[in-house]
Amino acid sequence: MAQAVKKLSAMDAAFLYAETPEMPMHVGSLAYFTLPEGYAGDFYEAFKGVIASRMAQAPMLTWKLEPSPFDLDHPSWVVDEQFDIDRHIFRTSLPAPATAEVAERITGWMHAKLLNRARPLWEFYIFEGLPDRGVIVYNKIHHACIDGGAGAALAQIIYDIEPDGRRSTTPSPRPSPHRPRMSRAPSRRRGRRCSRRTSTSSRSR
């Protein structure tokens, strides 16, 4: 049996009950990055490694929903024992012309798709190959597991403001038995400039 974490509050559960295919209840953001000149690494693999190394600081990223028996109460968050980071972070490319405007239109379509409730309710998509060494990171996460304040805290865990990213001192979550352990990110990550357009809502508790 999966390890129970906590029961959803009435407010958080309401976002699940209100969700329909026509009205998704997740929030999302776009982050625009410019890779440094001469960058020869794999941004997708480096980004995935950073997320894997910092997930212990954001344990909700490994939680999934567990309904109550006969739906007599709100669902609970439980640890996903089959968690696989490759089911949450994806590499993709843009059709020509590979511009920010095209990315925004495509992510608009992607944002209309509901998250899979059998897994932790978040996803990242990495768009590579933009002009001038550009990279775009689109993510979405369900409002049942994050609000405005928690979203800001999560962004501080995931992103760095200095060219050389900080190294996590906490262990990564246990890997899926069906996948090899994710390697850690390189000790030095080159800096990136980014501006973010965020389409999130916030609420006070």
What's the full length of the chain, in residues? 205
CA distance 142 to 111: 11
Residue burial 125-150, b: 16+ Cβ < 10 Å; e: rest:
bbbbebeebbbbbbbbbbbbbbbbee
Question: What's the burial of 83, exposed, middle or buried (CB within 10 Å: 0-12/13-18/19+)?
Answer: buried
Check if the beta carbon of residue 97 is closer than 8 Å to that of residue 132: no
CA distance 48 to 26: 21
State the catalytic residue, choosing from 26, 88, 142, 143: 143
* Tokens linked to 156: 């501080």
Q: 143 catalytic, yes or no?
A: yes
* Tokens linked to 137: 């990171």
Amino acid letter, residue 148: G
| CA distances (Å), origin 134, targets 34, 59, 63, 73 | 5, 30, 32, 46
CA distance 84 to 182: 10
The catalytic residues are: 143
